[in-house]
Amino acid sequence: MLQKILLIILTIAIYGCRTHTTSNKVTRLEPDSIPTKFQEHIISKNDRLEYGISFSPDMQELAFGVLDPITMDGKIYYSRKIDKQWSTPEIFKPLENDTVFLPYFSPDGSSILFAKSKANTNNYSTNIWKIERANDQWGIPVRLPLPINSKSREANASITKDGTIYLSSNRNCEGKENCYTADLFYCRPDGSHYRPINEISKLNSSSDEESIFIAPNEAYVIFCRYTNQDNLADLYISYRDHKDQWTTPQILDATVNSRAWDRRPFVTSTNEFLFFTRSESDEKELVTSDIYWVHTSKVFKPFVYHPISKISLEAGKKFEIKIPDDYFKDIDNMHLTIDIEPNQLNWLTFNRKKMKIYGLPTTAGNFEVTFTAVDQFMNTTRDTLNIQITPKDHF
């Protein structure tokens, strides 16, 4: 028995840490649900302020920002994977003479969006720019036109497969004194131009929303929001439902968010890893800023994709109702366990194979039944269905 217990413990240690051993040196390859610094001493260096990272879709290239600790000028660094190892990052040559921030590769890897300081302004005031690649050569950077850029600050942008740009902007503060709050917007392409920009009101609040990452297929969005003085900025997630509406944003787990500034999200094309920046400051200056990464096992959770409206039934009358097969969804898990919480209504039964509820209500009134969806990582999401039972012959 003791030998079996030791074997189980050893197995958990090996697979839980996702490491491998080479020449008596243990090298951490992939994180689990606890964030770790990415490529410490190569990308995330103790004597440097890294700020926002992005990868090409094949994960063979990366770009990230570095801040000057005195001037807060920004530079973009670039690295390529050679023989399965990241090359020493160097300043991205096409932008080496500019003050630039927050690079984001396009989903096909053919371009990079970035923020660039406006001429004759401080580094806080930026516009969104784009640089494209053809035949493995980077072209001339171009400032994106109206309505993407405005007189205000556009902090960062992310792009979908069809060219829709999601961005954070302070344009809602135009004409207001002492207003610096950023909100989230999107702008769809129309040939070589862009349609009018739209505010994403479901994601915006009275707080500051920035650092937006949009999934290439627009299935979800991750962004940061200033939470409070204790937790500062945290990462939030929202999903598209069956009506193409955004769900109410949910704060990511405390295993991901911290009491520092957690911002600048980026998710790999496989949806397997989340990268983000964690920064700390004192009363005067930015003290640390590093790139972290974490497995998405605690990032993506089941969500209500196809909500169920309130159901009206008649007392004393049998019923059978089909529950939508896509009631719940999960970005990284197609096979969810759907059930109802036990000991709720003794006259109601749920058949999860057929996704049906049926029964014979005996008493009039308003009732609730709670459904649960559990994924392979034991993340659980609950949703309540309201049922109104009217007296017999009420209709």
Spans of all domains in the chain: 45-298, 303-390
3.40.50.300, 3.40.50.720, 3.40.720.10, 2.60.40.10: which CATH number matches 303-390?
2.60.40.10
pLDDT, position 15? 33
Q: Which of 118-122, 319-323, 357-361 has the lowest mean pLDDT?
A: 118-122
Q: Could you tell me the strand order of the sheet in which 261-267 lies?
A: 36-37, 286-295, 273-281, 261-267
* Mean pLDDT for the stretch of residues 40-56: 96
Q: Is the dihedral of CA 40, 41, 44, 49 positive or negative?
A: positive
Q: Across residues 333-349, what is the average pLDDT? A: 94
Report residue 357 CA to chain centroid gap. Answer: 34
- Average pLDDT score over the chain: 91
Q: Identify the band that residue 68 occupies on the pLDDT scale cut at 50, 70 and 90.
A: very high
What pLDDT score does 123 carry? 78
pLDDT tier, 223 (very low <50, low <70, confident <90, very high otherwise): very high
Predicted confidence (pLDDT) at residue 19 exceeds the cutoff of 80: no
Cα angle 92, 89, 38 (rounded to 5 degrees) comes to: 125
Q: For residue 62, what pLDDT is reported?
A: 98
The pLDDT assigned to 227 comes to: 77
pLDDT exceeds 60 at position 6:
no
For residues 176-191, average pLDDT:
94
Least Cα distance to 62 among 85, 79, 49, 42 occurs for 79
Q: How does 35-74 read in b/e, with b if 16+ C-beta sit within 10 Å?
A: bebbbeeebbbeebbbbbbbbbbeeebbbbbbbeeeebeb
Confidence tier at 88 by pLDDT (50, 70, 90)? very high
Residue 180: per-residue pLDDT? 86
Name the architecture of domain 45-298: 6 Propeller (2.120)
Q: How far apart are CA 158 and CA 187, in angstroms?
A: 11
Is residue 300 predicted with pLDDT exceeding 90? yes
- DSSP three-state, residue 336: coil
Tokens 């503060």 correspond to 173
Both tokens of 86, joined, read 């990241």
Q: What percent of the chain has pLDDT over 70?
A: 92
> What pLDDT, on a 0 to 100 scale, did the predictor assign at position 16?
40
More confident of the two residues 216 and 284? 216
Model confidence band, residue 1 (pLDDT cutoffs 50, 70, 90): very low
Provide mean pLDDT across the span 341-363: 95
User: Does the pLDDT at position 366 exceed 90?
Assistant: yes
- Residue 17 pLDDT more than 60? no
Segment 22-50 shows an average pLDDT of: 80
Q: What is residue 394's predicted lDDT score, i.e. its pLDDT?
A: 52
Average pLDDT over residues 233-261: 96
- pLDDT of res. 384: 97
- What is the share, in percent, of the chain residues with pLDDT greater than 90? 84
Task: Tokens for 208, please give them.
Answer: 């500051």
